[in-house]
Amino acid sequence: MWKNFKCKRLLVWLTALFLVLGVSGCGSQTAPVDQKATGEFDLTAYQNHDFLITPQDLKALLGSDNLVLLDCNKPDIYAKEHIPGAIGIGLQAFCDNVGKPGDPGWGTIKKKEDLQKALGALGIDNKKTVVFYSDVFKGPGADGRAVWQLKQAGMDNVKMLVGGLSYWKELGYEVTTDVASPKPVAGVVLKDYDQSYFATKDYVFNNLDKQVVVDVRSEGEYKGSQNAGEPRGGHIKGAVNLLWLDLLNKNGTIKSPDEIKTIMASYNIEPSDEFIVY
């Protein structure tokens, strides 16, 4: 199934997209409801969609004491506009960034005790609904990474906003420049990290000839550009290039399961395959 992929590094939206598509290769897929006709994105077309939340459902939660809303955009984007009540956390709030890109452990998930402190400082516990979003077209879609990290730590109360800020705005919902402050809490409980959520360098190296490796960066980065801060140019030997944005519609919502299955098939990846994403 398409939940059998592994990630070499902490990822962006594509990680969550593949979790959505944890579908078997047999049987037919229900087509998503026409968004224009209903005004609401249909989650039921996707398996493993429990971590997604529609703009309509989020709008109904705004102002609730049981909601923690986190904006994963770059600080300048957050300052310009964000959803009311959203706390700006930037791109790597839950990452260990000691040293520089390329150093051992850089960019990986914080140690469990450090992550617990970071979550408590943001007002996150095991009961509140925690919603992450970003403007995926202004990059780099760090909401998917944040959800993936907390799922890895065993949290089942985390959600990602379908379509992010772009879809929210398309629906005419309110944005603001008012800065929201967290209300710290104590007592968040995390599980030991689920090792199946990621792949080590050794795992990737040992499986180069056994699994498809998917590079979801831009074509320029794939071909050697270091404009995004990569310590080395190029890509993993044998990796195929699939831009993560190609799995999204123009308004930031997710393409249908059938559309994504067709895209993946063009890279010789079937729902029953295991593959590595970075």
Residues 120 and 232 in one domain: no
H or E stretch covering 80: helix 75-80
* 9 domain residue, yes or no: no
Q: How many separate domains does the chain show? A: 2
Q: Containing domain of residue 264, as a range?
A: 199-277
Residue 155 belongs to some domain of the structure: yes
- Select from 192, 212, 246 the last residue of a domain: 192
271, 2 in Cβ contact below 8 A?
yes
* Same domain for 164 and 240: no
Q: CA dist 267 to 199, 206, 261, Å?
A: 20, 21, 10
pLDDT at residue 17 tops 70? no
pLDDT tens figures, 222-260: 999 998 878 889 999 999 999 988 999 999 999 998 999
pLDDT tens digit sequence for 119-178: 999 999 999 999 999 998 887 779 999 999 999 999 999 999 999 999 999 999 999 999
Helix (H), strand (E), coil (C) string for 15-49: HHHHHHCCCCCCCCCCCCCCHHHHCCCCHHHCCCC
Provide the angle, in degrees to the nearest 10, between the axes of the packed helices 142-152 and 13-20. 60
Task: Report yes or no on 27 lying in a domain.
Answer: no
Q: Are 215 and 237 in contact (CB under 8 A)?
A: no
- Structure confidence at residue 20 (pLDDT): 54
Residue spans of beta strands (DSSP E) within the chain: 6-7, 52-53, 67-71, 87-88, 95-96, 108-109, 129-133, 158-161, 212-215, 240-241, 275-277
Question: How far is the C-alpha of 146 from the C-alpha of 73, rounded, in Å?
Answer: 12
Looking at the structure, tell me whether residues 154 and 210 fall in a common domain: no
**How much is the pLDDT for 5?**
42
- Write the Ramachandran bin of 5: left for phi over 0, alpha for psi from -120 to 50, otherwise beta: beta
